[in-house]
Amino acid sequence: MFATYLKELGSFLLVPMAMIIAGLYLTKGVYGLHRSRSQDRKDFLDLWAKADKADSLWVQVAVRHLFGENLPVPLIRHLIAQPQATRALSDVAFAWRLIDLDEATGELFWRYRRHYSPRVRLWERRFWLGGYFLMAAGALLSVWVGVKVDAKSTVGVMSWLYALLFGVAAYGSLMRGERLSDADVGVPRWTKQMRWRGGSWNSPATGAARRQGRKRRAG
């Protein structure tokens, strides 16, 4: 019976069917992710209430369990001491892929030297934001083409494939821009009392300072 209906209605039926199925899987995935995060928060609170907070390894593992990043223990303890500890941990954890901590000197530094420049950080955020709108427009255009043409044709198949690729690229651009924005605003706010390589988050270390730091780590 299904084959008969499909033959009568033609390939146009494939598009709404595919969208419904994709929507069901997306809803299921979002619900599962929400439950996973809720369970992680519950587990974290249970552990936090029972464990010894003086244990550095436990503190690091507990924060990793909730925020998804392996933050250094000295940084964690500094952030916990802030008036808005949860917000501070969340902001720094989200931006942690862009910054790091020198274990030998205890100094924070940008992983990429260009990020020491506020101007570069600003233009890079604008670049990723522009990329998001461009990729999102490409995804919408591909969906429109996919709906208009025969879903079984090469153009139809490629349109839905491009829609998926553009959608993933749009999401990636949005996350990169948000992470850099969080790093540019949140990280300096919560770490201004800590030492930064070069003196501050806007002052890269000189060549001599970098060589001295490498010698200390090698020694």
Model pLDDT, residue 64:
81
Q: Check whether 217 has a pLDDT greater than 50.
A: no
Model pLDDT, residue 61:
78
Model pLDDT, residue 164:
87
Specify the amino acid at residue 111: R
Q: Check whether 68 has a pLDDT greater than 90.
A: no
Under the banding of pLDDT at 50, 70 and 90, the label for residue 110 is very high
CA distance 119 to 141: 33
CA distance 13 to 202: 56
Pair of tokens at residue 15:
């598009």
The DSSP code sequence of 72-132 is: -HHHHHHHHTSTTHHHHHHHHHHTGGGEEE-TTT--EEESSGGGG-HHHHHHHHHHHHHHH
Kindly report, residue by residue over 118-149, the tens digit of the pLDDT.
Answer: 899 999 999 999 999 999 999 899 888 888 88
Model pLDDT, residue 125:
92
Q: Check whether 29 has a pLDDT greater than 70.
A: no
Q: Averaged over 74-89, what is the pLDDT?
A: 89
Model pLDDT, residue 12:
47
Q: Check whether 81 has a pLDDT greater than 80.
A: yes
Under the banding of pLDDT at 50, 70 and 90, the label for residue 66 is confident
Model pLDDT, residue 1:
45
Model pLDDT, residue 5:
43
CB of 48 closer than 8 Å to CB of 66? no
pTM for the structure as a whole:
0.64
Q: Averaged over 101-115, what is the pLDDT?
A: 89
